[in-house]
Amino acid sequence: MNTLLKRIRGRTTREIAASVELAAREGALAGGGRLPTVRGLAAALGVSPATVASAYKELRLRGVLVARGRQGTRLSRLPGATAATQDALPRGVRDLRDGNPDPALLPPFGAALRRIDATHHLYGGDPTLPGLAKLVARDLSDEGVRAGEIAFVSGAMDGLDRVLAESLRPGDAVAVEDPCFGNVHELALARGLVPLPVGVDDEGVLPDEVERAFAGGARALIVTPRAQNPFGSAFTPARAKALRALVRARPEVLVIEDDHASLITRAELAPIHVDARRWAHVRSFSKGLNPDLRLAAVTGDEETLRRVQARQRVGERWVSHLLQRLALELLSDAGVRRGLRKAADVYAERREALLAELAARGVRAFGSSGYNVWIPVESESETLAALFARGFAVAAGDRFRMQSAPAVRVTAASLSPRDAKAFAAAWTNGGGAKTASV
């Protein structure tokens, strides 16, 4: 604390806020670290407590700080702190940390690229390719998603960002899964929102915790109905029914569904937005077609979609029609559709093989859908180091957690049953068994 106090300077709200943020970004305060009290920092700087309080408020609205009651004001995980790229691994170390699909299960693009219409799309044209919108609308309807206009955005995170930006204001609380995809948490912080963690199990978010978040003032709820990353949960019909009842009782809450893995999971969609007045459903094509195909569809209630489309028209205006035509070409191909169904089966088999190998050794793990497996541990850093020494790199749970217990995420997308056996053996032979919560 004394070291941090020496780094903070300034006499005005803006100067103090800038100084705190700079100290944090330079590593003087780790994520989750406690800041001086308002009165303590005011005394150290020789300014009024109101000035410091105003600086802290500005930093909270921008997602740099979080207020945790009796635990004091603490540094959040700074937006953008998650590495955009990962260090190269030495020869012989298997990468199970990246969350990528298996490249061998992605459809080839060559023939589709040669077949797509290359007609120029000019300013003032329809931002949405009608054929793709019609196809996506049919797919959504077949899975129980309410009818609504379609907008195309640059991936799932872009869709979430646009919906949040047009629907909430800085300082609003938003209920998010815990653990959740780290970028969702950071996105909320970057928008000045206050994330309220909601626990998950194999069937999705826990209704009691969702209800608590609603009572705590949550203005929105972000959920992953299947293939939840990193936990792997999927809504069962019973869980979805319970959540729909909560949503129905809170018409002011915006329900956002991130269906990022719809193309490559066998889990059936059990949407909860059907009883919501304000809702958005985001469907990405990246996991199934290619992560480099930066394209997702967003639908929702009329007001929410109108706001998203209006802001898009004054910004980048539209997502490239070349990308939209490529997606349409691929999704209209019966062979590609068969390949996607096969990929879903393969991912399920690989995930289930890993879970079975771990269970046979007494290791508790989670992953009811998708291709990620979540394994509780006592020490993430020790587990990562021990597994690395045995030839496996996995992701630290800290990237995904807020209040939930320590764990590691294993991406089983390209892990054969034989590889799963080797990983489980490495775990129980010192790679994780001593630190696992079993």
Categorize the per-residue pLDDT at 79 as very low, low, confident or very high, splitting at 50, 70 and 90.
very low
Categorize the per-residue pLDDT at 142 as very low, low, confident or very high, splitting at 50, 70 and 90.
very high
Hey, is 269 helix, strand or coil? coil
Cα(428)–Cα(392) distance, integer angstroms = 13
Cα(282)–Cα(304) distance, integer angstroms = 12
Q: Which of 279, 283, 199 is nearest to 239 (CA)?
A: 199
Sequence-ordered list of residues with C-beta below 8 angstroms from that of 306, at least 6 positions apart, any chain: none
Hey, what amino acid is at 149?
E
Asked whether the predicted pLDDT for residue 436 surpasses 60, the reply is: no
Asked whether the predicted pLDDT for residue 33 surpasses 70, the reply is: no
Cα(244)–Cα(274) distance, integer angstroms = 7
Question: pLDDT value at position 62?
Answer: 67
Mean pLDDT of the chain: 89
**CATH 3.90.1150.10 location in the chain:** 94-104+336-431
Cα(371)–Cα(427) distance, integer angstroms = 19
Question: pLDDT value at position 15?
Answer: 86
- At the top level of CATH, the class of 2-75 is mainly alpha
Is-contact 166 304, C-beta < 8 A?
A: yes
Categorize the per-residue pLDDT at 310 as very low, low, confident or very high, splitting at 50, 70 and 90.
very high
Between residues 29 and 356, the one the model is more confident about: 356
Question: pLDDT value at position 434?
Answer: 53
Asked whether the predicted pLDDT for residue 358 surpasses 90, the reply is: yes
Handedness of CA 101, 102, 103, 109 (dihedral sign): negative
Lowest-confidence segment of 23-37, 73-87, 236-250 by average pLDDT: 73-87
Fold of 110-332: Aspartate Aminotransferase; domain 2 (3.40.640)
Q: Which of 369, 285, 372, 282 is nearest to 107 (CA)?
A: 285
Calculate mean pLDDT across residues 57-69. 72
Is-contact 297 152, C-beta < 8 A?
A: yes
CATH of domain 94-104+336-431: 3.90.1150.10
**CATH 3.40.640.10 location in the chain:** 110-332
**CATH 1.10.10.10 location in the chain:** 2-75
Calculate mean pLDDT across residues 281-308. 95
Asked whether the predicted pLDDT for residue 433 surpasses 60, the reply is: no
Asked whether the predicted pLDDT for residue 152 surpasses 60, the reply is: yes
Calculate mean pLDDT across residues 208-220. 96
Sequence-ordered list of residues with C-beta below 8 angstroms from that of 208, at least 6 positions apart, any chain: none
pLDDT tens sequence across 366-399 = 999 999 999 999 999 999 999 999 999 999 998 8
Question: pLDDT value at position 81?
Answer: 46
Q: pTM of this prediction?
A: 0.84
pLDDT tens sequence across 240-285 = 999 999 999 999 999 999 999 999 999 999 999 999 999 999 999 9
